[in-house]
Chains A and B, each alone.
Chain A
Amino acid sequence: MRHLTVFVTALILLLLNGVAAADSHLDLTAYEGKVVIVDFWASWCVPCRRSFPWLNAMHAKYADDGLVIIGVNLDREPAAAEEFLREYPPSFRIYYDDSKYLAKEFGVVAMPSSYLLGRDGAIRKRHYGFKVKKQEEYEAAIVAALGDLE
Chain B
Amino acid sequence: MRAFLFIQGLLVLGIISGCSTMGVEPWDRDVLAKEEMQLTTDPVEAATDDHIYFSKEASSGGRGFGGGGCGCN
Contact = CB atoms under 8 A, between A and B. Distances in A.
A–B proximity contact (CB within 8 A): yes
Interface of A: 40, 42-48, 74-76, 80, 100, 103, 108-113, 129-131
Given A100-B25, A103-B25, A47 B73 contact: yes
Contacts of A40: 27
Which has the most chain B C-beta neighbours within 10 Å: A44, A74, A76?
A44
Contact of A129 (B27, B29, B33, B73): B73
Nearest to A129: B73
6 contacts: A42-B30, A46-B72, A100-B25, A100-B27, A113-B26, A129-B73
Contact of B30 (A44, A108, A113): A44
Given A108-B25, A110-B72, 17 more contacts: A42-B27, A42-B30, A43-B30, A44-B30, A45-B72, A46-B70, A47-B73, A74-B27, A75-B30, A80-B30, A108-B26, A109-B26, A110-B73, A112-B72, A129-B72, A129-B73, A130-B73
Interface residues of B, number: 11
Interface string B41-73: 000000000000000000000000000001111
Question: DSSP class of A's interface residues: helix, strand, loop or mixed?
Answer: loop
A76 B32 CA distance: 13
B30 to A, nearest CB: 5
